[in-house]
Structure 1
Amino acid sequence: MINRIPQEIKIDPSSIRQTFREINIKLFCCRYWILEEWTCFDLSVPFWRVYYNTIEGAEIIYNNRSIMLNKQNLIIIPPNTSFSTRLNTTNVRSNNESIAGRKFTEADTREQIAKTNKLDHLFIHFSLGFPLDYADAGIFCLEMTDQKLKLIEEIRHTCIQDKAFNFFDCLNVNILIGLCLMQLENFLTDFKIMDQRVFNAMAYVDNNYNKAITNNALAAMTNMASNSFARLFKKATGITIQQYIIKKRIENALNLIHHSDKNLDEIAHDCGFSDRFHFSKFFKKHVHMSPSYYRKNLTLF
């Protein structure tokens, strides 16, 4: 007779219960561009960004501090960080915002671009979900390493080829983001364990943001009074239930703007807004520009 090991022992022989935090990196865009103009007075947006330039000449101004983009530094910026940008390839200072550029192609070289007073610019936009999307504002200049540089070269190569990102291309982007976040360990201090009732409500919103969601409905799922649950939610997250719902709708709208051909009316409907007017109103409040302007210029933001 053969002695069999219990299935649960085969799966995990330890009786110690472990809890793991979900890591959810949601990519909005990853592009490699040639910058001709980059004069912006406020680039505050509700998602994370990574910037990397090889050619010097781009400057970020944050809290009266100048941060130069160059091949020695990788820049990572939390959501809702207000800063301005400019190019130092010309002595002319404009009083108007201006963004211009185009995709870096296989026919381009960085040497040729530098001779024309233009810059190369890799940028990645992404979200991390709650609570990391509510990290304090800031701009972090990270030292370049051989591992990061290798990933950047592979990512830029994918962008230049203008092909769909496959699993391994996306993995490269996620690994680069992960390496950046590892260097922010002291900044991204561990958040307290969330009340399960709040977590369940957030998960419901994440999966049903396109539907009408009321405080009463979420409270009923937790067997709490509406006002009591609203106070619990705000205490745990720092924002109201309806503010969280709007944030998820805007986040998904951004994703559709980047990755679909749907018009703004369709996007408004798919993300749970009553009409395009209300969509534009909340979009502008969170992204600081209209959705039509964002769509027109998103490839350079």
Structure 2
Amino acid sequence: MTFSKNIALGDPSSNYQNFIDLKLRLLCCRYWLLNLWDCHDMIFPFWRIYWNRNEGGELIHLDDVYKMTPDTLYIIPPFTSFSSRFSKKHMHNDGIHVSGRHLTSDYNEDDYLDSSLIHFFIHFNLGVPFDNVYPGIIEIQVTDYLRDRLEYLTGRLKVENQDFKLTFNLKLQAFIKEVLTNIGPELWKAINIDDRVLKVIRFIEANINKKLTNTEIAAIVNMAPNSFARLFKEEMHITLHNFIQNRKIARSCELFEHTNKTIEDVAFNLGFSDRYHFSRVFKLVTGLTPGIYKSGKYT
């Protein structure tokens, strides 16, 4: 038998194994009764999974309208521009207009099937480079396993929607990962990006609170700034400047979800000159002001 040189790690094999490092970070998970869901031209720096128990919900991306059914999950990658509506109570043709409330165990869902949209959603990030895949709306058939998980997750959310136990967290993460395994390989081309670009992306993530110049970034991989900028655009289909802006706004969304930091604090922590500069960039990227995002008046 051949033993690995690093037997102290407990692995007796000398075969090298290359695993993909997926850094799943949960932002929110909710189960709502929606009376109004008129949201237009939303663009957010995180993944979404949507599921409706009843019909009436619609998603619009480019010229395509997706009529949502209980047999389908809808995955929306980061930076996908899309709109949503509850067709039975569609009132607004622009802006963000949401009206609803958390479902609790006090509600009998069957009583609201005709009047409201029973809506489950998850927001999350996957880390570099998987938060930079191609935009679109992906439809996934609800299997028996996924339906069982949906019943568990929505049932628990009706009882508790703030301080989750370890079991719920593990099952929620397992649900997300199972859903993602149903996405075709064409979506995951980001894992094959140039090593120089990937090195820079990791540097940006580690220094997201700093003001980074093209010259400083290009020097990391010993390239001229203009040459690296072209390489980055070819690999990532976005300019280096816009990518950094997007990553800063993605980080700000995490801070708003998981801390009590003010808009001023977040702007300062991410290297913006002031709150007003940060707010302009945030709205440019997401279509919302930081104040509206913090209020949670969107889904």
Q: What is the TM-score normalised by the length of structure 1?
A: 0.86
In structure 2, the residue matched to 1:46 is 45
In structure 2, the residue matched to 1:247 is 246
Query: Residues 228 and 166 of structure 1: is their aligned pair in 2 closer, same or farther, counting only changes over 3 Å?
Result: farther
In structure 2, the residue matched to 1:153 is 151
Find the residue that maps to 1:188 and give its secondary structure: helix
Find the residue that maps to 1:129 and give its secondary structure: coil
Query: Residues 96 and 216 of structure 1: is their aligned pair in 2 closer, same or farther, counting only changes over 3 Å?
Result: closer
Structure 1 vs Structure 2: percent identity of aligned residues? 35
Q: Does structure 1 retain, via aligned residues, the 8 Å contact 2:42–2:83?
A: yes
Q: Does structure 2 retain, via aligned residues, the 8 Å contact 1:131–1:237?
A: no
CA–CA distance in structure 2, aligned partners of residues 183 and 157 of structure 1: 24
In structure 1, the residue matched to 2:268 is 269
CA–CA distance in structure 2, aligned partners of residues 228 and 63 of structure 1: 33
Query: Residues 134 and 199 of structure 1: is their aligned pair in 2 closer, same or farther, counting only changes over 3 Å?
Result: closer
Q: CA RMSD in A?
A: 2.5
CA–CA distance in structure 1, aligned partners of residues 72 and 172 of structure 2: 17
In structure 2, the residue matched to 1:122 is 120
1:75-111 deviation per Cα after TM superposition (whole angstroms, max 9, x unaligned): 1112232332221334x64445421111112211211
Q: Does structure 1 retain, via aligned residues, the 8 Å contact 2:34–2:99?
A: yes
In structure 1, the residue matched to 2:237 is 238
Query: Residues 199 and 190 of structure 1: is their aligned pair in 2 closer, same or farther, counting only changes over 3 Å?
Result: closer
CA–CA distance in structure 2, aligned partners of residues 7 and 274 of structure 1: 51
Q: Does structure 1 retain, via aligned residues, the 8 Å contact 2:133–2:190?
A: no
**Post-superposition shift, 1:283?**
0.6
**Post-superposition shift, 1:258?**
1.7
CA–CA distance in structure 1, aligned partners of residues 138 and 6 of structure 2: 45
Are 1:57 and 2:48 matched, yes or no? no
- Which structure would you say has the larger Rg? 1
CA–CA distance in structure 2, aligned partners of residues 61 and 222 of structure 1: 40
Find the residue that maps to 2:223 and give its secondary structure: coil
Q: Does structure 1 retain, via aligned residues, the 8 Å contact 2:31–2:157?
A: yes
Q: Does structure 2 retain, via aligned residues, the 8 Å contact 1:158–1:165?
A: no
Q: Does structure 1 retain, via aligned residues, the 8 Å contact 2:128–2:202?
A: no
CA–CA distance in structure 2, aligned partners of residues 211 and 22 of structure 1: 25
Q: Does structure 2 retain, via aligned residues, the 8 Å contact 1:55–1:119?
A: yes
Unaligned runs of 5+ in 2: none
Q: Does structure 2 retain, via aligned residues, the 8 Å contact 1:268–1:274?
A: yes
**Post-superposition shift, 1:63?**
4.1
CA–CA distance in structure 2, aligned partners of residues 168 and 66 of structure 1: 36
Query: Residues 130 and 239 of structure 1: is their aligned pair in 2 closer, same or farther, counting only changes over 3 Å?
Result: farther
Unaligned runs of 5+ in 1: none
Q: What is the TM-score normalised by the length of structure 2?
A: 0.87
Are 1:171 and 2:143 matched, yes or no? no
Q: Does structure 1 retain, via aligned residues, the 8 Å contact 2:130–2:191?
A: no
CA–CA distance in structure 1, aligned partners of residues 82 and 255 of structure 2: 25
CA–CA distance in structure 1, aligned partners of residues 187 and 249 of structure 2: 24
Find the residue that maps to 1:42 and give its secondary structure: strand
**Post-superposition shift, 1:6?**
7.0
- How many residues align structurally? 294
Are 1:20 and 2:19 matched, yes or no? yes
Which structure 2 residues correspond to residues 1-301 of structure 1 after superposition, within 5 A? 8-9=6-7, 11-90=10-89, 93-95=91-93, 97=95, 98-114=97-113, 117-160=115-158, 161-191=160-190, 193-296=192-295, 298-301=296-299
The letter of the residue matching 1:123 is F
CA–CA distance in structure 2, aligned partners of residues 231 and 242 of structure 1: 12
The letter of the residue matching 1:147 is Y
**Post-superposition shift, 1:189?**
4.4
The letter of the residue matching 1:272 is G
Q: Does structure 2 retain, via aligned residues, the 8 Å contact 1:57–1:88?
A: yes
Query: Residues 43 and 257 of structure 1: is their aligned pair in 2 closer, same or farther, counting only changes over 3 Å?
Result: same
Query: Residues 89 and 277 of structure 1: is their aligned pair in 2 closer, same or farther, counting only changes over 3 Å?
Result: same
Query: Residues 166 and 299 of structure 1: is their aligned pair in 2 closer, same or farther, counting only changes over 3 Å?
Result: farther
